[in-house]
Amino acid sequence: MQETQDKSQEARKTVTHWIDGKPFEEPDVDRYGDIFDPATGEVQGRVALASQAVVDAAVSSGEEAFDVWGSTPAPKRVRVFYNFRDLLLRHADELAALITSEHGKTLDDAAGEGVRGRETVEVALSAPTLLKGDFSNQVANGFDTYSLRQPLGVCVGITPFNFPVMIPLYMSAVAIAAGNSFVLKPSEQDPSPSMFLAELWDEAGLPPGVFNVVHGDKVAVDALLDHPRVQATSFIGSTPVARHVYQRGAASGKRVQAFGGAKNHMVVLPDADMDQAADALTSAAYGSAGQRCMAITTAVAVGQAGDELVEKTRERIGALRVGIGSDPESDLGPLIRDRARERVLSYIERGAEAGAELVVDGRAVRVEGHENGFFVGPCLFDHVTPDMELYQDEIFGPVLIVVRVDTFDEALALVKSNRYGNGSAIFTRSGWAARRFQEEATTGTVGINVPIPFPVSFYGFGGWNDSRFGDHNINADAFHFYTKPKVVTARWQRPPAGVDMGFMRSE
C-alpha cells in the first residue's frame, strides 16, 4: 500500500519557477502548495513557493536582461511579438485545456480567455506607434522641445486565479513591448498556464530574463513589493489585498496599479426587452461559475420589471448544466477550491436566514462521477435589500441577487452609493435613460444593453472607488504606466551665442 502511494506521489506534477529563460530549481525547497483538480477535488500536483532567494534571482535576471532589452529598438522588439502571437494561436487548445484542468472553467470559457489575452499581444504589435513622443519646433529662437517615453526597468505582475492567461498577458505584453523586463507572480492555485506562457515566450525569441515567473504566497508578494530594484507593480485581486499591495509598494517608492473587488450592478428598466435582459443576466452572472471580477452579481429591477425578469431568469437557470469543464455540454464548472465552495455556501445560508427569497437553490447539485468536486449550482435570490451581506460583499460564486426599486433615480442612486466601481450596465429602450446612466454611473466601465462591459484591448480597463488604487488602467493605457516621460529641450545653433545670463524667452 505504501509503495502504491509513493508511486502516486511521483506521478503528480511539480511546478517550479522560470528564471533566466529556463525552469529554476531552488535547492532544498521546503515549501510547496497543492494544485487541485477542481472537478474531482483531488490533488494533481504541487507548486514550489518562492523564498526571498528565488525572488532575488528573478529580479537580478530581469535587471540584467533589461540592460539590453530596454535599448533594443521597438520595431525589433515587436518582431518577437509576431512570433509569440502566432504561437499563442497555434497552441490555443492546449492552453485552454491547461486552464480548465487547474481552474475548472469550461473549455469554451478558457478558450475565450485566451482570445482576449491574445488581443492585448496584438495591441502591443503597435508599440512603435504607441510609444511615440511629441515634438515642438522652434519654441524659442533655435530651440526645439520634444518628449520621450522610456522603459522603467524590472516590472512585476501579481495576478489572480480566475484568469491565469488573460490577465498575465494584459500586464506582461504591454510592459515587455515598452522595453521592460517582467516578473510574473501568478496565483499559486493554477500556476501551470504561466509556465506554458514562459515556454512560448522563449520559443518566440524573447531573450532570457525578460520574462520570469516566480510562484508563491504572501512571502513572495511582499518580497517583490519591498525589492529595491523593482520599479513598478501591477496587481488584480480582492480589495483588501489590493490596498495592501498599493500601500506597501508605494511606501517602497514603486509605481503601483492595484485593482480590487467588484459588485457589478445591472439596472433593468420596465421598457427593456426582458428576454434579452434575462439572457444577458444569466450569462453574465453564472459564466465561469461567477468567478469573474466583471460578473453581474446584482440585478436592480425597476418598477414592474421585477416579476418578469425574475421569472425569465429562473427559467433560463433551469436549462443550465453544471459539469466538469472538459465536458463540452457543461455551462459552468466547479469553483477553484473547497474553501471557495464553503465560503459561497455560507453566504447562501446567511442570505436565506436574513430574509432574502431563495428562488433557485443550487446547493444540492451533484455531478455524477465527480461527487467530490468543488461544485455549486446557480443560485438566485430575490427581494435582497442593501443592508444584507448578500448585497454588501463580493461573493465570487454563482450567486445572483435581485434588488427591487420603484424608480430609475433609485436604481442610479444605488449604483452610485456602492463602494465598488468596476462595472455597471443598463438594459432599456430609452436613449435618455441610457445616456444619463453612462454619464452618472460611478464605475470604470459601463454597458448599455451589454451585460459585461469589458472593453476591447485597445481601450484601457480599470474600476473606480474601492475597485482600483492608482492612476493608470491596464491594456493600452498601460503604455503610460510602464514608461516614464522625459522632456528634452535642444539647441543647435551656429555660431556660438556666447554667455547669456537671462532666462530663456519665447519672444
Cell readout for 334 is 466547479
The distance between the two most distant Cα atoms of the chain, rounded to a whole number of Å, is 92
Least confident of 72-76, 139-143, 174-178, 413-417: 139-143
Q: What percent of the chain has pLDDT over 70?
A: 96
Give me the catalytic one of 293, 376, 411, 478.
293
Residue 421, pLDDT > 50, answer yes
Give the relative orientation of helices 192-204 and 92-103 as an angle to the nearest 10 degrees.
160
Check pLDDT > 50 for residue 45.
yes
Buried b (16+ CB within 10 A) or exposed e, 122-145: ebbbbbeebbeeeeeeeeeeebee
Angle between helices 92-103 and 74-90 (to 10 degrees): 70
Cα separation, 287 vs 274, whole angstroms: 19
Q: Which of 5-19, 27-41, 313-327, 334-348 has the lowest mean pLDDT?
A: 5-19
Closest by alpha carbon to 221, among 260, 174, 184? 184
pLDDT of residue 27: 81
Tell me: pLDDT of 4 over 50.
no
DSSP 3-state of 42: strand
What are the pLDDT digits (tens) for 343-360? 999 999 999 999 999 999
* Element (DSSP H or E) covering residue 310: helix 305-318
Confidence of residue 497 (pLDDT cuts 50, 70, 90): low
Lowest pLDDT segment from 38-42, 206-210, 296-300, 499-503: 499-503
- In the residue annotation, 293 being an active-site residue is answered as yes
Q: Which residue has the cell 463602494?
A: 419
pLDDT of residue 11: 60
Q: Looking at residues 355-384, what average pLDDT do you find?
A: 97
Give the total residue count for the chain.
Answer: 507
Hey, what domains does the chain have and what are their CATH numbers? 8-260+467-486 (3.40.605.10), 264-460 (3.40.309.10)
The pLDDT tens digits of the residues spanning 169-197 come to: 999 999 999 999 999 999 999 999 999 99
The CA-based angle 399-402-407, given to 5 degrees, is 155
pTM of structure: 0.93
Q: Minimum mean pLDDT among 129-138, 218-227, 322-331, 495-504: which range?
A: 495-504
Q: Is the pLDDT of residue 9 over 70?
A: no
